[in-house]
Chain A
Amino acid sequence: MFSLESITTIVQNWLTKTFSPNLALFFEFVIVGVLAIALFAALGLVLVLMERKVAAWIQIRLGPNRVGPKGILQSLADTVKLIMKEGLTPDGSDKFLFNLAPFIVMMVAMLALAPIGFSKGFHIWDINIGVLYVSAISSVSVIGILMAGWASNNKYSLLGAMRSGAQMVSYELSVGLCILSIIVLTGSLSLNDIVLSQQNGWWLFKGHIPAIISFVIFIIAVTAETNRAPFDLSEAESELTAGFHTEYSGMKFALFFLAEYINIFIVCAIGATLFLGGWMPFHLGTWEGFNHIMDYIPSFIWFFGKTFFLIFVIMWFRWTFPRLRVDQLLNLEWKYLLPISMVNLVIMTLVAIQGWHF
């Protein structure tokens, strides 16, 4: 059966055989770096095109269909255009911070990729506190956005950045609590262990109603944390023109744009890992034959399938819902989502202690 694990093992074995251990490690770093950047570029292209096609489908139109067959080269053409464009730095801005901000946002998105298991035995860094690491890293991106808004010397940007700061800090709490409710069940912070614990069924189904509640809250909260509609107040083009990236152009703007999509991918990957079993195939109890067939589907297809399904759901939100107002947004978090997810966590703990889950 085709598996990415075998490829990594072959490469690993060949490298350790050919070079000294330090040099082999260095080459592995290089390979991982190149692969990560390649994945980024590919994801950016695919997700932007997917967004436009999904939007077109919902809006009863065709979407990009001129560049390449069925328009699949559209986002490549857009990227080329953005690279060619001049990256302006406005007068009166803090030039250092202004130019640094997109890279901070980008780096954060890249770092958060490390512990995600793309396939069976295929991840960059199987860290034993993977979940904690991801939540810690993703909260740094708010600094990049605040930096961009502040350094632009533009009132729209400042308002957008402040909105974004308040929003991301609040919604992180809900995300954290939802993640915790799964950690309570698995007893491990390692993403690999969490996936392995779903061998006989996904936590979404095994964890009773509390798991479903925390899944729903998780999806809402990550939509807000990635500043996607209906929570895209930091950009809110009808109110703040473009929010924190009003003054950015060319490739610097493209980095913000790309980081947004990578962040969506990461949060959806985390969601898929925690609730939908990551790369684990869909197994149904004791139906050996059915489970066997499911096992034939390569694990990375399972992972990407689940992740892209969640991404589709989030895109569906964006093209359907109107935007919330800033005070309603914070009310939703502090008055509804946070209390619910706290109570939910307590119930989940009870479920885990009593062993009521499947």
Chain B
Amino acid sequence: MVEEIGKTVEGDLIINVGPQHPATHGVLHLVLTLNGETIKKVEPHLGYIHRSIEKMCESLSYRQFIYSTSRMDYLSAHINNHACALCVEKGLGIEVPARAQVIRVLMDELTRIASHELWWGAMAMDLGAFTPFFHAFRERETINDIMEETCGARLTMNYNVPGGVMADLHPNFQERVKNFLKLYKLKIHEYDELVTGNIIFQNRMKGVGYLSKEDAISYGVTGPAARGSGVSSDIRKLYPYEIYKQLEFDEILETEGDSFARYMVRLREMNESIKIIEQLIDNIPDGDFQAKTKAVLKLPKGEFYQRVETARGELGVYIVSEGGTTPYRIKFRSPGFSNLSALDHMARGGKIGDLVATMGTLDLVIPDIDR
């Protein structure tokens, strides 16, 4: 039986999961080869939401292209924009004012919490529990409201510009974030009571979708998925950008490498983000929210690479500049794409239910994969 896994033989059941399927959360198309309920092979078919953002960016200016990246990983849109802004700033050598740095990091962490909240609800829904989704949205809505007030949008914020942020914080910002922190601390124990401690949930997750440390590195898995396998991969710690160097927070590591470890990493990461917000919310320095930049940005000839830690892992922005007003070539190293490549390895030999659990803990966002 085991040696057959990976090969397709006559009589195997081949199932199309997606492009429209409740568990893929988007237009991901997986072709499963099954022996009864046991998965022999998972083959991803991508491109249903491919917009060729990389090609589009080649004809957009350095100010414009940032906004198209909101549409990649729409759940951590702010962090995507942040990466692009940082990359352009690196090319131009702009010094970002302290206030803008703090605002950016605050927004990053709020986005990360919002993204993890959504993941938590969707993960539980994949496993058949509907209620957590609504409980997660209760907290997530408050974050979205904060975003709406300051950035003017709830999901695709477009708040970062090269040199800082687009506008100053809303006067209510600090108060509302503090209210959110209060609400979060009041409700976070429900997450453990409702889902984490549930015996059915633990049975579904423990030992499922195992990914060893070596495989995680070889498959290029990053973010919470890699940290569940014991790979230290938090860019905020390894290659600190902005003010992360001065902040106190832990990189969450689990060594089991199964779905439950990845689940716990994400859940505990939210608490770390809360820690960061608590350190910053009363310490927002005065000053400019944006550095003075030229109207038309021209990056010098060369190559610039900037990576940040999004909610899903390492996002890299690789800009090749020829000295013009538009990038010559842009490549986005999206975390979802690499994480997806490990799915086949992780799901083989498991049941269909295991595939859903594994896919849930990888937290795939399809526009991020297809770009």
Contact = CB atoms under 8 A, between A and B. Distances in A.
Interface stretch (A22-30, A58-66, A280-288): A58-66
Interface in B82-134: 124-131, 133-134
B353 A325 contact: yes
Interface residues of A, number: 28
B177 interface: no
B128 A60 contact: no
Contacts of B353: 236, 239, 323, 325-326
B351 interface: yes
Contacts, number: 83
Contacts of B15: 155-156, 159
B203 A323 contact: no
A229 interface: yes
Nearest to B24: A238
Contacts of A241: 21-22
A320 B351 contact: no
A322 B129 contact: yes
A319 interface: yes
Contact of B134 (A59, A239, A325, A327): A59
A272 B155 CA distance: 50
A238 B128 CA distance: 7
A324 B203 contact: yes
Interface stretch (B62-70, B194-202, B237-245, B308-316): B194-202
B134 A238 contact: no
Interface in B187-210: 194-195, 198, 200-201, 203-204
A328 B128 CA distance: 15
A132 interface: no
Contact of B128 (A55, A156, A232): A232
A322 B201 contact: yes
Interface residues of B, number: 30
Given A59-B134, A229-B128, A239 B352 contact: yes
A14 to B, nearest CB: 51
Interface string A293-330: 00000000000000000000000000111111111100
A237 interface: yes
A189 B204 CA distance: 40
A230 interface: yes
Contact of B356 (A59, A239, A319): A239
Contacts of A155: 13, 15
A240 B21 CA distance: 9
Contacts of B22: 237-238, 241
Nearest to B203: A328
A237 B22 CA distance: 7
A322 B198 contact: yes
B145 interface: no
A263 to B, nearest CB: 19
A150 to B, nearest CB: 14
Given A238-B22, A239-B23, A323 B194 contact: no
B352 A324 contact: no
B200 A321 contact: yes
Nearest to B38: A327
24 contacts: A59-B134, A59-B135, A159-B13, A230-B128, A230-B200, A237-B22, A238-B126, A238-B128, A239-B352, A239-B356, A320-B131, A321-B128, A321-B129, A322-B124, A322-B127, A322-B195, A322-B198, A322-B200, A323-B129, A323-B200, A323-B204, A325-B203, A326-B37, A327-B351
The 4 closest A-B pairs by CB, nearest first: A323-B128, A322-B127, A59-B134, A325-B353
Interface of B: 13, 15, 21-23, 37, 124-131, 133-135, 138, 194-195, 198, 200-201, 203-204, 351-354, 356
